[in-house]
Structure 1
């Protein structure tokens, strides 16, 4: 929980390479709190690292069995700590982290089945704990009948929102079913959005924070698309954002590299009902002009009108994201010249949707209706283009100033 800011800082740190699979890593970084109900899942991730390996815990207590692991609380010290840990591990000055799970298959298999394959008959079963592909569904797109495979992903799969777990059935690379089993962790906002619920705040500060949030999501989408370098440029822009910042150059690079073309037209399209459920920029990308800023007299004084798209698909949401970044920068610069603050309290349009009498809620359950029929890459791009997690009632700054999070398991021990 609250580890995204750590990963964004590491993305710009020299000498550190982040990989998407624990099987390709030598250091496991646990950034932020891990709820006790996910400790077993974390042990499985840990034991997938090839030895020698080590762990580093940022603002979190190690699991039982890893009490001698390195812990750190200061964000500025984190890149150096990772580099030192890796050097000590590779040079032999530090021993490898021990395995946490027994070295045995998760399901009994030996001797089962006609040929010892772990299932009954020629097919079926879960040999070595992995379900075998079975022809159970008619293809929902082109009528071909292929073997279907049901599996689970998460809660630490990097293409999904942190904390989210899903059970998925694939036929080839086509999604047949998607069931969200664990919802993502709530996301924390910049404190200025929570302040806006209680008192007038400078519009310029609010809009710069909004633009940064959109750039952070764009960074994740670009990284998922394999455009790592361009993603770091978007992240660097977020870190240095000022009233004089411009995104013209970023837009040109996005067009030239084909990012919008990668998001095929029509894929991941939201219905009006789904768009209203998610709200925010995703709803405006579907043509809805819902935006609480329209009800603020000082925003109207700046000539604010919501920007919208019509298609409501993945491509439209990325276009909407870029358009709202540009709009926020224009509004911020105009508001500073007039020293304008928000005129309304009790509600605020956050980057993740409207916060009125209650904060934006989790919308990850909608994926069960939205993703079937999409190819795997299209589905991941669709997820990256959406804000699915609920919004936390605590600002990001509160977590950054908090002491290290102690795990329930460590306290109990």
Structure 2
């Protein structure tokens, strides 16, 4: 591919994907500020709203491996297009749901959104085939679209309360992300799968069923802890059963020609550190959102810890963290070009560890928490951009989609 062609790929494909990932970030972060209002609209209590998180977690973890595998077969642009259609349909379904059961179903289906970023990174990597700087350009492009994702998250945090204040009808509030999801479909539609070489693929349905069983049992254990408490044996029975299934699942997948989770690829020297880092990133990302918000609003006089902030004052901490992630993702590509991707990733992980380490000792004021979360945001943004790009570079021929998809699955499981 010539230099001019590479430039057109960068300006055309990446430019379009910037808008798609902005919308993705918007969708992922729009609902949380108004989740209590949604609960009242559907006439359900806060405990029932926890099922939303569990349902979307399962769908995200389950859909990424098979859809990524199919993308290597039919084309990453085509799979991204159909995934966008599914997400748009689910988002419109959420907007006009009048019962919790229907809302929960559409909410789960919207979890297909998790496959967007892995498919986009694979698409960028494959479209720049033949470029001597393919891996470096993929990292820079991934940093750009991840920065757009964080920009969408910031916009959603502002737009969601504003829409709730403007519209009295909850259907109108929930239609805002549905409109943007439809625009994403229109952006992806004219894209091309140029350069894609179809790979023979057979969907591993037995392996997918076993993976589903593991994830259901593990997520059920967490739900049972919420409902029954730590003293009940049932959460631990469910967790033990789920973890025990990993052994026969691994053996079964190693014997398959087209496994849903290719453990041989994951165990490769260049791949397993990437997937393990993705798993750990998932843990840190979740640790920076809901628990941080809960801690900030907890009354220290009543519970002995927390900041006792009103919800309006929690927003600046989360927005500052999101801005730091945006900056980290934006500058990651340039820094990795200078110090190398491995050193850049190590530096990002040290920033996250340092930020959380600082919070261990300094967490008694708004400023100390905000200061500690800033390096966490820088490091998390860089890692979010680095990991799928690193997986694409380490993937075997014809396995780019599944390699980047597995980073999405491991990050989701970690979360």
TM-score by length of 1: 0.32
**Structure with more of its chain in helix, by fraction:** 2
TM-score, structure 2 normalization: 0.32
Structure having the higher strand fraction is 1
